[in-house]
Amino acid sequence: MTFDVFGDFETRGYLRNSEGLKDLAEVKRLEHRVFLKNLVRAVEYLEHVETVTYQDVLRTHKILFQDMYPWAGQDRQDTAPEIAVMRGDRTDLFVHPRFTQNAVLYALKLGHDRAYMAAHPGEVMGHLAHAHPFLEGNGRVLTVVHNELARRAGISIEWMKTTKNAYLEALTREIERPGAGELDTYLRPFVGPAVKREVAVATLSTLRGLAGITPNDDRSDIDDERKS
């Protein structure tokens, strides 16, 4: 089933992307180019805000993807308020659009507690992933936000040393049992001291996204027949 939230896939392409692309492989390549182009600006923006708020998360998405999506910076409550996110046949891994803001705010509350963030970076990432605030780009945006929370807590994650399947399994368990330590346990060997901005940007630029619960696939799976 084609992901056609706006009902104009045939005339405007996938999610109204700037080039009208319909082929998802081409969409992914365009997303990555746009992400790389705007990554430094997004990282710098977050570094200079006093406290990362929900509006800053939205702003980060806009900075990263405004060259590609006209709705960049708008969450699912605005873009698809009645559409539930699916992963396979499950709708319980991600919150309904009306709860995305509350879920992100809870993650930010934990993440701003520097001692807690340093000890539980996996739990914070789990709550961010569970929120799944955007139609596309969740992985990249939430990893950039998580990177800033980690920097403020005096740590960094060596994401490139993680592996897709192990991370996916740990994050799925984390979402199913929040706070049980599943993702913290997995990430512990990859946690180190905070790094300079250029090192963080270099690490983030090599990532292909952590959308939802999939670290190397930034495409959302949406059941556009499930309404509530």
Indicate whether 228 pLDDT > 80.
no
Domains of the chain as residue ranges with CATH:
24-223 (1.10.3290.10)
Tokens in use for 5?
A: 């939230």
Instruction: From 136, 133, 162, 137, select the one nearest 54 (Cα to Cα).
Output: 133
Residue 227, exposed/middle/buried by CB under 10 A (0-12, 13-18, 19+)? Answer: exposed
pLDDT at 223: 37
E strand or H helix that includes residue 157: strand 155-157
pTM score, whole prediction: 0.90
Q: Are 148 and 47 in contact (CB under 8 A)?
A: yes
Give CB contacts under 8 A, 24+ apart, made by 2-8: 3/219, 3/220, 3/221, 3/222, 3/224, 4/224, 5/79, 5/80, 5/83, 5/135, 5/222, 5/224
Rounded mean pLDDT, 182-195: 97
Q: What pairs with residue 63 in β-bridges?
A: none
pLDDT of residue 164: 84
Residue 109 neighbours by CB distance under 10 Å: 12
The stretch 166-180 carries a mean pLDDT of: 93
The token duo for 44 is 């710098």
Write out pLDDT tens, residues 9-61: 999 999 999 999 999 999 999 999 999 999 999 999 999 999 999 999 999 99
- The average pLDDT across 201-209 equals 81
φ, ψ of residue 54 to 5 degrees: the values are: -60, -40
The rounded distance, in Å, linking the Cα atoms of 68 and 220 is 16
